[in-house]
């Protein structure tokens, strides 16, 4: 199957329609897929939030601003699909839970699409695992996000586990200053190295 056909099939996917219809927002699936086969960096995120559900473009929110800062890239580079693929663990906004937080990505999405999609991205040299769901799928096993990020040297330079760049993690960043002081300079250098190649 060609990449274009696969992307078209995902864009038409309605597997979670009933699940999303049962949430408070009662929204329909809107898969947000951002990739082309030549990409060299993979951003493996969680799932689109409501802003991205509306814009149809990944990380068009404050989380995206923070992630771009962590990577040391501007928006034009970040959204260059020939260089950076952005594939969350679910391609659609999952809805809100009772406390108003985003629901976790429905596992059916990765189960249905992820392996096949990654097989169409043979040039990936650097993978950013953004949040616990991406870490669990890509790394396997069980560990806290903090433990996985603290162990980043075990996976670099091919893979970097990162906390989600959401404002909800601002306190986490303050509690873990080594993240900005030690991990981010190495990550930025690695991103530049891969993009410059
Ligand atoms: S989240 Fe994934 S599996 Fe569910 S409807 Fe969207 S594209 Fe399909």
What's the pLDDT tens digit per position in 110-147?
999 999 999 999 999 999 999 999 999 999 999 999 99
Token pair listed for 158: 């091919």
Say if ligand 1 is within 6 A of residue 31 CB.
yes
Give pLDDT < 50 ranges for the chain. Answer: none
C-alpha distance from residue 57 to each of 27, 92, 131, 159 (Å): 17, 11, 19, 24
Q: State in Å: Cα 146 to ligand 1 middle.
A: 28
- 91 alpha carbon to ligand 1 midpoint, in Å? 6
pLDDT of residue 197: 86
Cα dihedral sign, 72-74-77-80:
positive
User: How many Å lie between the centroid of ligand 1 and the Cα of residue 117?
Assistant: 13
Query: What element of type H or E holds 137?
Result: helix 132-139
pLDDT of residue 48: 95
Rounded to two decimals, the pTM is 0.96
Q: Which of 19, 31, 89, 137 to mutate to test the pocket of ligand 1 (most atoms within 8 A of CB)?
A: 31
pLDDT reported for residue 167: 87
> Closest residue (by CA) to atom 3 of ligand 1?
109
Delineate the domains of the chain, giving CATH numbers in brackets. Answer: 3-196 (3.40.470.10)
Best CA proximity match to 45, nearest among 30, 26, 28, 32: 32
Q: Is 108 in the pocket of ligand 1 (CB under 6 A)?
A: yes
Alpha-carbon span 144 to 90, nearest angstrom:
20
Closest residue CA from atom 6 of ligand 1: 92
| 67 CB within 6 A, ligand 1 | no
Q: Which two tokens stand for residue 6?
A: 């696969």
Atom of ligand 1 nearest to the CA of 30: 6
Contact criterion met (CB below 8 Å) for 195 and 163: no
Is 90 a pocket residue for ligand 1 (Cβ < 6 Å)? yes
Q: Tell me the best of 8, 46, 89, 109 to mutate to test the pocket of ligand 1, counting ligand atoms within 8 Å of each CB and taking the most.
A: 109
- Token pair, residue 193, equals 């190295």
């Amino acid at each position: 199957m060609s990449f274009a056909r696969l992307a078209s099939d995902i864009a038409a996917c309605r597997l979670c329609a009933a699940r999303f219809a049962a949430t408070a927002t009662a929204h329909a699936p809107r898969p947000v897929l951002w990739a082309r086969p030549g990409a060299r960096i993979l951003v493996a995120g969680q799932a689109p939030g409501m802003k991205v559900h509306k814009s149809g473009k990944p990380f068009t929110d404050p989380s995206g601003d923070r992630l771009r800062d962590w990577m040391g890239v501007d928006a034009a580079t970040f959204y260059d699909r020939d260089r950076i693929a952005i594939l969350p663990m679910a391609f659609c906004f999952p809805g809100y839970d009772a406390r108003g937080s985003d629901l976790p990505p429905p596992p059916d999405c990765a189960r249905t699409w992820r392996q096949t999609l990654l097989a169409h991205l043979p040039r990936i040299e650097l993978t950013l695992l953004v949040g616990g769901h991406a870490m669990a799928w890509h790394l396997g096993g069980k560990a806290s996000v903090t433990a996985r990020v603290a162990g980043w040297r075990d996976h670099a330079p091919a893979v970097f586990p990162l906390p989600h760049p959401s404002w909800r993690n601002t306190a986490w960043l303050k509690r873990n200053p080594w993240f900005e002081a030690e991990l981010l300079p190495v990550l930025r250098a690695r991103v530049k190295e891969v993009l410059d190649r």
